Chain A
Amino acid sequence: MYHLIIKEIKEFWSNIFGVFSLAILILISFLFLWIFPDSAYTTYGLAETDLYFQFMAYLLLFVVPVFAVGFLSNEYKYGTEELLRALSVNWKKLIGAKFIAAMIILIFIIFLTSVNIYVVNDLALNTQVFSFQKTVVSVFGLIGIGACYIGISLMITSFITQTTASYITSVFVCFMLYSGLNLISGLPIFEGGFDFWIDRFSLSYHSEQISRGILRLSTIIYILGLTFWSLSLAAHRLNSKEV
């Protein structure tokens, strides 16, 4: 398992596209949080980290599939599925290793962008505004949302071998889970009926809770359940596939 994880992380760093996507993510987060007037801290003048966490949950939706899809689609591209089978690699172990490697990169991304939290806290006129407990909950929640994206991306890629198609589908499914369900719940047909439940199944609902520092049991079950289900389906799909 350890050697598989290391291989994935090395692969990420050896790929200029992966590193480039990291640089773009940092640039975009800087532009949206500090420069563009519609979303910048400087416009609203509130030293709260909610904006950072909500924005990051949305931004990760596009960035996480870049490397999570790549981890699996590169195996197809290089034809190394055969090699992995010849090395007696269990598919559950393989998916687990790819998930852990993706989580390490995700945590690294969050670490890089967490400078925003520090800066916002530093800029606050009243230092009492900053809540360490709330920030910790929000960071864990953000990691959880990222885990859902990774799980979904791996699951989609286990079905769709073409990298671009897999990336687009992963982003679409992640978007539907994040915002799509929330938007669907607003349709008049669901008003006063299923709208409450549909909204509860959207990641944006949980993301909003987390960004406020609220971590409910339902959110934990939702994140763990969705991630575990996606990874299980991916492992099952790969196990049943001919190479």
Chain B
Amino acid sequence: MLALEAAHITKSFGPVDVLVDVDLTLRKGEIVGLLGRNGAGKSTLLKILAGINAPDQGTVNYNKNTIGYMSERNPLYPYMYVREYLQWVGNMKSVPDISLRIKWIIKHVGLEAVQNKKINQLSKGYRQRLGLAATLLPDPEIIILDEPINGLDPIQIEEYRALIRSMAHNKIILLSSHLMQEIEALCDRVLLLKDGVISEDTMLRTNRTGSVYQLELQLDKSIRIDLLANIDGIEKVEPTNNHRYIISIKEGVDPRSQIFDAIVDNKFRILEMTHIKSSLSQLFN
């Protein structure tokens, strides 16, 4: 099974230990988000995993030719044309059927409008798209993206998410972002990098087909769990404290009206119902 394994990764810049004994395993089919404050070492870790820089200690097991890496700076050659650049990247990576592949990638990344333009004439959003297109052009098995949505507008972000999701089933995708909502919207798993170590490694969803999100419910008094647990789409109901319940729901289903009816029909009052989005914020803080 395709996997990227890193063991005991340590990296220092002068007296500063940026990464300390980081262990990591990424598996096929996962979209993994890497979160961390500025200067936490996210880019350093991604560069080491992509084989751009070497760690002081530790190993990364992978075939470098199977990795596609897009850096935060998204470097491009400004004097080249969009198609010419993709052609050059394809030649450098010996991509088979390169013309067809370029045509496909231009269409799927949304570069049709600028495909004959010079790179130095592109807007930030299109430059970002081009960087992504060049990364995906060789159809890498492992995709590492450092802050990939920088400079994209909301529509472009949605398109980019759809593209990433469409590729996720047979690839490993690791991306960093300083936007928690971006990680929550896209990733199955989140890694929190803090003080040079991965302090949290949390599954946000069970898997891509059976994803789960959660609601937090507060009632005026305690309710029988089965009244909620029997509603279609609800996977689990966990009582917490003070008449509060965490309800895990399959993604793609919205049983909020049924929950509301079940509660009202049984003479309970809803004091609060919220979509749990704060889990990453809590981790982050």
Q: Quick check: A242 and B73 within 8 Å, CB to CB? A: no
Give the interface size class of chain A: 20 to 34
Residue of B nearest to A83 (CB): B75
Report B58-79 CB contacts with A as 1/0, cut-off 8 Å.
0000001101111101011111
Q: Is the interface of A mostly helix, strand, loop or mixed?
A: helix
Q: For residue A19, give the distance in angstroms from its CB to the closest CB of chain B.
A: 13
Which among A80, A85, A243 is the interface contact of B77 at CB below 8 angstroms?
A80
Interface residues of B in 128-149 (CB under 8 A from A): 135
Any B CB within 8 A of the CB of A87:
yes
Any B CB within 8 A of the CB of A237:
no
Report B82-99 CB contacts with A as 1/0, cut-off 8 Å.
000000110111000000
Q: Quick check: B77 and A11 within 8 Å, CB to CB? A: yes
- Contacts across chains A and B counted by CB atoms under 8 Å: 54
Q: Quick check: B79 and A80 within 8 Å, CB to CB? A: no
Any A CB within 8 A of the CB of B193:
no
Q: For residue A71, give the distance in angstroms from its CB to the closest CB of chain B.
A: 12
Q: Which residues of A contact B110 (CB under 8 A)?
A: none
Alpha-carbon distance A130/B135, docked complex (angstroms): 57
Task: State whether A3 and B69 are in contact (beta carbons under 8 Å apart), knowing that A78-B75, A80-B75, A85-B51 are contacts in the complex.
Answer: no
Interface residues of A in 52-89 (CB under 8 A from B): 78-83, 85-89
Interface residues of A in 126-163 (CB under 8 A from B): none
Interface residues of A in 217-243 (CB under 8 A from B): 242-243
Which has the most chain B C-beta neighbours within 10 Å: A4, A81, A87?
A87
Q: Quick check: B50 and A86 within 8 Å, CB to CB? A: yes
Residue of A nearest to B13 (CB): A242
Alpha-carbon distance A186/B97, docked complex (angstroms): 64
Chain A interface residues (CB < 8 Å from chain B): 3-4, 7, 10-11, 14-15, 78-83, 85-89, 242-243
Could you jot down 18 A-B contacts, CB within 8 Å? A3-B91, A4-B92, A10-B79, A11-B77, A15-B79, A78-B78, A79-B75, A80-B77, A81-B75, A85-B52, A86-B52, A86-B68, A86-B135, A87-B89, A87-B93, A88-B93, A89-B92, A242-B53
